[in-house]
Homo-oligomer: A and B are copies of this chain.
């Protein structure tokens, strides 16, 4: 299969997953009539609003683009689901750090990125991102991690078990490697603590031939499908639980840590901001409200 077909299939999948997640999250909003909500919450169930953007490569040539999707609802205080398919040439100093780009800076990237900040402090925030990169090499990467202000063993276990089962189906050592990578990556050194309760983080699942492409694409699809099944289960388990002002305050402070991680350490965020990426799409991940008090 030629590379154009691989790019098209990956890109189409990320859009399909985005559409499914839109529908699943909007259905949760439809179930919010009797759940506790913020005083500032809308009275109607939330709906995603989308905004397209286009990218110009530093060379001046068209460089693809993407679609931001944001819903500000009753259960989902702010959730962003972005897809993008971009291409062009990496800046010279950056190309050196990218597999397969040192001698030829041309790249293609397509992916989906999701961050949900929930109104109810009992419902964990969550992050999910998967992507397909093409330089002179090509690979899949991604991950999903759970970010509760108040960790609950039942939720953490369910999230981990679902991802572990998906990992185990696709690679004997995947869970061992990718759950550890998640712990290492989503660590906040200056707070000496993890950002959340983990999940998986993977990268550089290289696809030198058709069978490896099919295997890693299948794993990446499975990660998306697993996320789209297990996170809604956790949301539905917790969204009806009441909370008080002190729990909300603890949530807002926890979100401060989340913002710190993304702005100081997250490679995608920092790289994106410093190299002229789409600021609104990159900072979709930031919490709707946070406190450092």
Contact = CB atoms under 8 A, between A and B. Distances in A.
A259 B263 contact: yes
A95 interface: no
Nearest to A252: B289
Given A264-B270, A273-B189, A293 B283 contact: no
B279 A190 contact: yes
A288 B273 CA distance: 24
**Binding site secondary structure of chain A:** helix
A279 B264 CA distance: 13
A290 B290 contact: yes
Nearest to A290: B290
Given A259-B263, A264-B270, A283 B292 contact: yes
A276 B190 CA distance: 7
Contacts of A172: none
A274 interface: yes
Interface string A15-26: 000000000000
Interface string A259-293: 11001100000100110110100110011111111
A290 B260 CA distance: 13
Contacts of A47: none
A232 interface: no
Contact of A289 (B72, B189, B289): B289
25 contacts: A72-B293, A190-B273, A190-B274, A190-B277, A190-B279, A190-B282, A190-B283, A191-B279, A252-B289, A256-B286, A259-B290, A259-B292, A260-B263, A263-B263, A263-B264, A264-B273, A286-B292, A287-B292, A288-B291, A288-B292, A289-B289, A289-B291, A289-B293, A290-B290, A290-B292
